Amino acid sequence: MPVVKSELQADLRKLRKSLRRRSKRLTPEDVHRLRTRARRFLSLTDSDSLPSLAKANLKKALKRIRKRASRVRDMDVLTSHLAALHSDSDPSCRTQLFEYLGAKRYRRADRLTRLLEDAGPALRKELRRVGKGIAKDTGRNSGKNARKAHTKQSAQVLELTAGLSEPAHLTRADLHPYRLKVKELRDALRMAGGTADSRFAGGLGQCNDAIGEWHDWEELIAIAEKILGHGPHCPLLRELKEINRLKLHTALTTAERLRTDYARPGLGKARPAKRKSGKAPRPLPIPERALKAVARALA
C-alpha cells in the first residue's frame, strides 16, 4: 500500500517540531533530524500525496532550509570522523583541523538558526494547514484512486531499480551521482509503501551509507590539504588517504553487490545505444530477481 494519511501527518508533525524556534544552539542530532525530515517532505512533493498548493508554497523554502542544514551536518560528520582517528603522530595537525571545522560549523549553524527564526513560524503554520487538508481528503487514498497511485508508484520503483545497472562499470567518479540514484529509489520505495526492513531496502541503505561515508572522507581530505599545507608527507594526511582508500573499496564493492543482486539482467550489460534514426533506446530489461525483490518489499 502507498504511504497512508497517518504516516503523512506524522511526518508533518515531526517536521513542524524540527522547525520550532529554539533558544539553545542546534545540536548535531537537531540538525540531522531537521535535514532528514525536510528531505522526506520534499520527496512527498514530487508525488501525488500532497495538494499542489502545498507544493508551490513550501518546496522552495524547505529546499533552502534543507541545504543549510546539510552544510551544518557535513561539519558534524567530518568532525566525528576526525575525532575517531587513532594516530597522534602530529597532534597539531588535528588541532588545526578541529579548529577550522568548529569555526565553520559555528558560522553555518548561526545562519541556519537565523533562517529558522525568520521562516520557521510561517512554515509551521503552513504545514499545519496542509495536515488538516490531508485529514479532510477522504477520497485520495481509497478505492480506484489508491490503486492507480500504487500502480504508478510501483512502476516508478521498477524503473529506478532497472536504472541501477547504469553505468556499466562503476568508477570513483561515478559513485556520488550513483548514490543520488539510490536515494531516489529509496524515496520512491517508501512512497509506494515499501517496508524498511526488507532485504531490498536494506541493500539500498547499505549502498547509500557506504558511498556516503567514502564521500565524507574525500571531503575531509580536500579540507585538510587546503588548510594544513604540509604536503603528501603529513602523517595525518597519509592516515586520511589510507582510510579513504579502504572506504572507496567498500563503497565500490557494496554498490556492485547491489547491482548484481537486483539490477543486472546479465553481467555488466549497459543500456543499448541510441539509434541513428533518433529513436529513443529500448528500456532496460528488469531482472526477475528485481521483480521479486520489489514485490516482497511492497507486500
Give 72 or 140, the one with higher predicted confidence.
72
Q: Which of 106, 99, 110 is nearest to 227 (CA)?
A: 99
Q: Looking at the structure, do residues 39 and 66 belong to the same domain, yes or no?
A: yes
Domain end residue (candidates: 136, 168, 196) = 136
Q: What distance in Å separates the CA atoms of residue 196 and residue 246, rounded to the nearest whole number?
A: 28
Q: Looking at the structure, do residues 101 and 1 belong to the same domain, yes or no?
A: yes
- What's this model's pTM, rounded to 2 decimal places? 0.81
Q: Looking at the structure, do residues 132 and 156 belong to the same domain, yes or no?
A: no
SS3 268: coil
Q: Are 14 and 43 in contact (CB under 8 A)?
A: no
Confidence of residue 263 (pLDDT cuts 50, 70, 90): confident
- DSSP letters along 7-76, please? HHHHHHHHHHHHTS--SSPPPHHHHHHHHHHHHHHHHHHTTTSS-HHHHHHHHHHHHHHHHHHHHHHHHH
User: Which tens digits make up the pLDDT trace of 54-78?
Assistant: 566 678 889 999 999 999 999 999 9
CA atoms within 13 A on the CB side of 254: 23
Q: Looking at the structure, do residues 175 and 112 belong to the same domain, yes or no?
A: no
Mean pLDDT to the nearest integer, 29-49: 83
Q: Looking at the structure, do residues 120 and 164 belong to the same domain, yes or no?
A: no
Confidence of residue 89 (pLDDT cuts 50, 70, 90): low
Would residue 56 count as lying in a domain? yes
User: Which tens digits make up the pLDDT trace of 148-205?
Assistant: 766 777 888 888 888 898 898 999 999 999 999 999 998 888 877 767 667 888 999 9
Domain end residue (candidates: 136, 157, 190) = 136
**What domain range includes position 261?**
147-269+285-299
